[in-house]
């Protein structure tokens, strides 16, 4: 390949590579934001969030009510 000539494919690959790096950077930022949000939650907050998945809150407990009585 000539030094003065850059093929359209090479320009496309360069653009694609830049876009991939930008997406990876953005994903990293989102992961950091999510991590910091989770870090600020208390254990009660985590329990309440888990109970929003449609199950009763007692279904998340590691024991049954009969075992407690």
Domain segments of the chain: what residues? 8-68
Angstrom distance (rounded) from CA 33 to CA 26: 11
Average pLDDT, the chain: 72
Measure the CA–CA gap between 18 and 25, rounded to whole angstroms. Answer: 11
Three-state secondary-structure class, residue 8: helix
* pTM for this model (two decimals): 0.45
If you average pLDDT over residues 19-24, what whole number do you get?
A: 94
Where does 1-69 show beta strands of DSSP type E? none
- The per-residue pLDDT for range 24-57, each reduced to its tens digit, is 999 999 988 877 666 666 655 555 555 555 656 5
pLDDT band (50, 70, 90) for residue 15: very high
CA–CA separation, 16 and 63 (whole Å): 52
């Amino acid at each position: 390949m000539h030094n003065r000539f850059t093929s359209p494919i090479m320009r496309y690959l360069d653009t694609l590579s830049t876009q991939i790096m930008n997406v990876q950077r953005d994903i990293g930022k989102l992961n950091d934001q999510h991590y910091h949000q989770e870090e600020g939650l208390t254990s009660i907050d985590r329990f309440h969030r888990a109970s929003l998945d449609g199950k009763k809150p007692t279904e998340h407990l590691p024991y049954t009510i009969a075992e407690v009585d």
